[in-house]
């Protein structure tokens, strides 16, 4: 059962300005990462060093918001000391929780820092009550972030049987894989997103201006080509356009964003404890505007769940920040589950 009856809004912070934008617009908690491969958004120019985290923590706590650290990649044998040191740093910084996926790292945290609040990352791929109960009993996790592959009925079943708070994604980019189990981009770049912290490492990305238009490559492979004036998204293999049987199209996944505003009353009713916004790699303007909309929606739903309807203005605002300028419920709308 949830530790709190009030649904929490958890928002991304890839930088201090983004953190301030989230807090100022109503986030209950923000999540950030260290400036290395221990987090799954290891882009140049993103994330925090320890001095910045202290400033971020002070800013958030002064305004009633919590600060969570994403330490959600999987350490390899040669990097074990770096990952455990990151856990130690998180404990020393007195952060409100650490979001982790690797069982060995969870065990280390539980043994060496028993007072540190642990959340199971979406990268932990826990999609059923048995996996969640195991992590609660063995590692003492207090919250779990569900992968974006479950239907609403499946989420309901998990929440009803979970011994810890359940968090779901509410807005942002979708992933066609079960998070934590994807190695797709490693075939082109030689680096797994689950160990190096990014689907498309910047060093493997190349942009080209050609007579046929701007195009992007990942690991030397053509991912997409854009018409004049067409928005060019950051290249990832799963969202590229490829020629299949003579036709060029999004063969694996079209760019679109998850948006749960239509089913917010249902999520609130079944006891989802927190809604998470994706996008630590996005701008402070994105963070601030999405946080503002999500805050208004959650508050309106809590005040009058039966009379709640998503505002057209909210939806239009979110679509401006969505991939492909469109949104979907993704797996949540599957009626056959």
Domain boundary (250, 284, 315) is at 250
* Cα 98 to Cα 148: distance, rounded to the nearest angstrom: 20
125 and 206 part of one domain:
no
CATH assignment at residue 101: 3.20.20.70
Band of pLDDT at residue 261, cut at 50, 70 and 90? very high
Smallest CA-to-CA distance from 197 within 7, 17, 4, 36 is with: 36
106 and 22 part of one domain:
yes
Asked if residue 182 belongs to a domain, the reply is no
Return mean pLDDT, the chain.
Answer: 89
Asked if residue 103 belongs to a domain, the reply is yes
Q: Coil, helix or strand for 30?
A: strand
Residues 6 or more apart in contact with residue 77 via CB below 8 angstroms? none
Q: Is the pLDDT of residue 193 over 80?
A: no
Q: Is 173 exposed, middle or buried (0-12, 13-18, 19+ CB in 10 A)?
A: buried
Average pLDDT score over residue span 210-221: 89
Q: Is 20 exposed, middle or buried (0-12, 13-18, 19+ CB in 10 A)?
A: buried
What integer pLDDT is reported at residue 160 of this predicted model? 96
309 and 212 part of one domain:
no
Q: Is the pLDDT of residue 4 over 70?
A: no
Name which residue leads in pLDDT, 193 or 216.
216
What integer pLDDT is reported at residue 72 of this predicted model? 93
Q: Is 320 exposed, middle or buried (0-12, 13-18, 19+ CB in 10 A)?
A: exposed
Q: Is the pLDDT of residue 145 over 50?
A: yes
For the chain, the farthest-separated pair of C-alpha atoms sits apart, in whole angstroms, at: 60
What integer pLDDT is reported at residue 1 of this predicted model? 42
Q: Which domain holds residue 246?
A: 194-250
Give the CA angle between residues 159, 162, 167 to the nearest 5°: 55
262 and 310 part of one domain:
yes
* Cα 293 to Cα 319: distance, rounded to the nearest angstrom: 11
Band of pLDDT at residue 329, cut at 50, 70 and 90? low
Band of pLDDT at residue 301, cut at 50, 70 and 90? very high
> At 154, which helix (H) or strand (E)?
helix 152-161
Q: Is the pLDDT of residue 266 over 80?
A: yes
99 and 118 part of one domain:
yes
160 and 126 part of one domain:
yes
Q: How many domains does the chain have?
A: 2
303 and 244 part of one domain:
no
What integer pLDDT is reported at residue 57 of this predicted model? 97
Average pLDDT score over residue span 157-170: 96
Average pLDDT score over residue span 114-123: 96
Smallest CA-to-CA distance from 331 within 152, 69, 183 is with: 152
pTM tops 0.85, yes or no: yes
Q: Is the pLDDT of residue 178 over 70?
A: no
Smallest CA-to-CA distance from 117 within 139, 133, 102, 132 is with: 139
Smallest CA-to-CA distance from 120 within 104, 141, 95 is with: 141
* Cα 69 to Cα 230: distance, rounded to the nearest angstrom: 35
Domain boundary (209, 225, 250) is at 250
Is the distance from CB of 49 to CB of 289 less than 8 angstroms? no
200 and 296 part of one domain:
no
For the segment 22-76, what is each residue's pLDDT rounded down to a tens digit? 999 999 999 999 999 899 888 888 899 999 999 999 999 999 999 999 999 999 8
Domain boundary (234, 250, 266) is at 250
* Cα 123 to Cα 254: distance, rounded to the nearest angstrom: 22
Least confident segment among 80-84, 90-94, 246-250: 246-250
Asked if residue 168 belongs to a domain, the reply is yes
Q: Coil, helix or strand for 104?
A: helix
Asked if residue 157 belongs to a domain, the reply is yes
Q: Coil, helix or strand for 208?
A: strand
Average pLDDT score over residue span 155-176: 91
Band of pLDDT at residue 194, cut at 50, 70 and 90? confident
Q: Is the pLDDT of residue 88 over 80?
A: yes
For the segment 11-28, what is each residue's pLDDT rounded down to a tens digit? 999 999 999 999 999 999
Instruction: Report the length, in residues, of the chain.
Output: 337
What integer pLDDT is reported at residue 2 of this predicted model? 46
Two tokens at 198?
A: 């990014």
> At 184, which helix (H) or strand (E)?
none
Backbone phi, then psi, for 314, in 5-degree steps?
-60, -50
What integer pLDDT is reported at residue 133 of this predicted model? 97
Say which DSSP state 34 is in: B
Asked if residue 188 belongs to a domain, the reply is no
| In the block, residue with structure tokens 């790699």 | 281
Q: Is the pLDDT of residue 208 over 80?
A: yes
What integer pLDDT is reported at residue 161 of this predicted model? 95
Is the distance from CB of 122 to CB of 146 less than 8 angstroms? yes
How many other CB atoms sit within 10 Å of the CB of residue 302?
Answer: 15
51 and 112 part of one domain:
yes
């Amino acid at each position: 059962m949830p530790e709190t009856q009030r649904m929490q809004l958890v928002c991304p912070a890839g930088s201090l300005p983004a953190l301030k934008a989230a807090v100022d617009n109503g986030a209950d908690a923000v999540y950030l990462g260290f400036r290395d491969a221990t987090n799954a958004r290891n882009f140049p120019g993103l994330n925090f060093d320890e001095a910045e985290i202290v400033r971020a923590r002070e800013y958030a706590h002064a305004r009633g918001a919590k600060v969570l650290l994403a330490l959600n990649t999987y350490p390899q044998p040669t990097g074990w000391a770096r990952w455990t040191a990151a856990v130690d740093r998180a404990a020393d910084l007195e952060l409100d929780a650490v979001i982790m996926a690797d069982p060995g790292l969870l065990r280390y945290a539980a043994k060496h820092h028993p007072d540190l609040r642990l959340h199971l990352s979406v990268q932990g791929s826990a999609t059923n009550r048995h996996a969640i109960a195991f992590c609660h009993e063995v590692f003492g996790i207090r919250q779990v972030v569900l992968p974006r592959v479950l239907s609403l009925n499946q989420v309901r079943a998990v929440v009803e049987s979970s011994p810890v708070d359940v968090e779901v994604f509410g807005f942002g980019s979708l992933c066609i894989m079960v998070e934590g189990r994807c190695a797709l981009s490693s075939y082109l770049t030689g680096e797994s997103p689950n160990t190096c912290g990014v689907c498309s490492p910047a060093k493997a990305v190349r942009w080209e201006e050609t007579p046929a238009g701007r195009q992007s490559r990942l690991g030397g492979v053509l991912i997409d080509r854009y018409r004049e004036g067409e928005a060019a998204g950051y290249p990832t293999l799963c969202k590229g356009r490829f020629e299949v049987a003579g036709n060029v199209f999004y063969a694996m996944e079209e760019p679109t964003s998850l948006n749960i505003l239509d089913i917010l009353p249902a999520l609130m009713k079944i006891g989802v404890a927190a809604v998470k916004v994706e996008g630590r790699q996005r701008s402070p303007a994105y963070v601030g505007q999405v946080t503002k909309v999500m805050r208004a929606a959650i508050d309106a739903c809590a005040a009058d769940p039966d009379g709640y309807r998503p505002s057209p203005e909210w939806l239009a605002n979110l679509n401006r920040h969505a991939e492909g300028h469109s949104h979907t419920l993704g797996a949540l709308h599957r009626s056959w589950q």
